[in-house]
Structure 1
């Protein structure tokens, strides 16, 4: 029934209501007169407001309000609203007797008689302090979390609705992706993906995986507002409410471009190291093979030359011997290239004017390449000289031009260009300094990535069987590295290739070659000599002694350094010693030291299957590179007796370079 009717009820019913109200302790239930003065007070009001009934009856209820609320006229306004609208309800801070505050939910209802006359108000107040504290704690936690998330700048942290549209945006997202909140809110997150990823359905796959499994994690390329790409580590987490309904996704993105670049650089460095180690191992193996092969060629060459001198009346046999000798020459050229790759060739570096070198061999190059190929030279007006072996450099360039010609079946244009370059410390595998970049460029068929990766490996060739040794580029690689430079090959299938030789600049002025005829004639020895030949290879030793005897000398044999010293200490006359270098127990260089200690006037010739003297050898010794024939042996003996050390004269570039390309 209505309150006005309850007020007019019988006294017995009134007593029952009074008992009911007094029994309630969780609510303050009391009555105000029309002016707001308290006229009743229950146990609940006393419990959490702190006033006893005798203390509060007759007092105005405004004393429960804060000073600010009283100054604002809230107590009176609450009564006016209740009287006018039939009810006033609010929440706010109220004051207990001891001055402490509590958060209250208050309702004010007007009480009227049946005639409509206002006789007072019923006021019900509930202490919601615990709920308020919990809500405030939650609010502060959420605010702190919001500030925390928004303050993170190294991670893009934002939410998506169930469809994948952005619903919030932190500072990290703005910094990494470039969008302001007003530009991105409500937009689908797929705009951060590359076009190719969108075509593959990567955005939806990420949401589907997170929806089904609760989490999706990946790394990939993403796109910023300005269109640039960055490598991102991405996590998408499913978000559900208390009922288990999916309300969206949390997305965390980190820019890991620097880490990815560092990993890529490390991977490339490891790959380069592995390639370098592989090439070094192959080089050592190749050098060893070349050494042994040179020993065999020495035996074959000497025997063939001696046989040709003894067979003079049969032209057919002479032709066979000459053919065999040409085979030996080709074998010697092959070992020379092997030694070049192994960086064991004997270089004679000096200042070289590249313009003069290329111009000097241009006519020969044009004849070698044929009429279908045009050579174009692009050199600057001034070009610093390089420090290199000019003869070996000519051979290298011939190899490169032949490779370029073979790559252009229908002919075309080969460009050779040069430019000065500066290499700063730590930029690549070159030492810091000034270099000249010499490039040979063709427009041929080019190489794919797999072929390009193996182009400088020895014995690797794309030509048919018998058409290439696979040592052309490997020889160039060995020459350039031994000269202190670098070989760089750039190629694309169907476009062409560019081979760059980076050679160190020379600070000296290029020298003019002496007339080769001046040094071509050997100096005759003064009469027959007693020559001690020392070699641990029986075939080589036999041929050496046979050729010496054919030249009119007396030859003595020793199969080791110890045996040679024993012969000399026995008092035998020895005019000259020719010794192999690579011998067990005591090398040729060590034998030379021992001989010079006891017989300082005895000339020594050092024969070696390597084209350069290994570390620790005496660089001043007269050298006789293997394989050698009668002519080379005669020159070495004459020069040694004349006291003029001589190394192998540079080989002239030959058409064999055509068979030495990859």
Structure 2
């Protein structure tokens, strides 16, 4: 997703609250359409996967046919991931909320990515061990963080360092509906080429990319943004051409979310 602009100054963009660079909101109609298509497509995938599984376990099926069915099942898994990201973008995911630890989520994501076959990329990780709990869906939050980490890897094809930090910080500019105060923060910084100011405010648009086609689904950052917004958080991006990018994920603490939900329940 990184671009370059030799004359670019330092730029920052956020979702829904950047006064200097307002970003148009995705119309509700588009999100509803994405959610509807995802639901219908998922139902079709379930049928394809179900019958492929049955055939693959049929003792009368030849080894060659079983190999072909394995390819079909692999393709359905990739399609299911695409459906999941469309649902995340549309903010229609069913959240399985629980009290969880942000550091555990981050560490599990990084453990998977340490095995990626990407040369000369180093992970520099510092996790604040005094963080309060998070109240959210750990699998979806992990997916959002993973999408941004993958973006950081891809921003450095010749190598570099990805710096990951967690902390409890005062949010500089909370989104609408938030009252400020302390938020959980995940910072992911890469040494890539940076993002050109002309496209910085579009990086969370679905299928927008400055990279050559054929790499990824084009929904990674859009899905990450949708997941974080659905958790009443937001993502800020700082980028300077030639000096990399910093993605800051802001999430409310578990205590603040439980208080908000109790207040909403009393007001019903």
Q: TM-score range by the shorter chain?
A: 0.7 to 0.9
Contact 2:237-2:247 at 8 Å conserved across structures: yes
CA distance in 2, matches of 1:463, 1:314: 42
Match of 1:467 in 2: 215
CA distance in 2, matches of 1:445, 1:328: 35
- Which gives a bigger RCO, structure 1 or 2 (Cα 8 Å, sep 6+)? 2
Q: 1:496 to 1:382 in 2, by over 3 A?
A: same
Contact 2:162-2:188 at 8 Å conserved across structures: yes
Contact 1:441-1:498 at 8 Å conserved across structures: yes
- Which of 239, 246, 251 does residue 491 from structure 1 map onto? 239
CA distance in 2, matches of 1:493, 1:269: 18
TM-score (norm. length: structure 1): 0.34
CA distance in 1, matches of 2:184, 2:146: 18
Match of 1:576 in 2: none
The residue matched to 1:358 in structure 2 has which SS? helix
Contact 1:460-1:469 at 8 Å conserved across structures: no
Check if 1:399 corresponds to 2:170: no
The residue matched to 2:116 in structure 1 has which SS? helix
Match of 2:206 in 1: 458
Contact 2:109-2:145 at 8 Å conserved across structures: no
TM-score (norm. length: structure 2): 0.79
State the Cα distance separating 1:353 from its structure 2 match: 2.1
State the Cα distance separating 1:319 from its structure 2 match: 1.1
CA distance in 2, matches of 1:428, 1:293: 33
- Which of 96, 109, 125 does residue 377 from structure 1 map onto? 125
Check if 1:339 corresponds to 2:56: no
State the Cα distance separating 1:331 from its structure 2 match: 0.5
Q: 1:355 to 1:327 in 2, by over 3 A?
A: same
Q: Report the structure number with the largest CA radius of gyration.
A: 1
Q: Which aligned runs of 4 or more in structure 1 are off by greater than 6 angstroms? A: none
Match of 1:288 in 2: 36
The residue matched to 2:114 in structure 1 has which SS? helix
CA distance in 1, matches of 2:197, 2:21: 18
Task: Please tell me the root mean square deviation across aligned C-alpha atoms, in Å.
Answer: 2.7
- 1:142-291 equivalences under 5 Å are 268=19, 271-272=22-23, 275-276=24-25, 278-291=26-39
Match of 2:178 in 1: 431
State the Cα distance separating 1:403 from its structure 2 match: 0.9
Contact 2:124-2:164 at 8 Å conserved across structures: yes
Contact 1:404-1:441 at 8 Å conserved across structures: yes
- Which of 224, 232, 235 does residue 476 from structure 1 map onto? 224
Q: 1:281 to 1:451 in 2, by over 3 A?
A: farther
CA distance in 1, matches of 2:166, 2:61: 56
Give the count of matched residue pairs.
239
Q: 1:281 to 1:406 in 2, by over 3 A?
A: same
Contact 2:144-2:228 at 8 Å conserved across structures: no
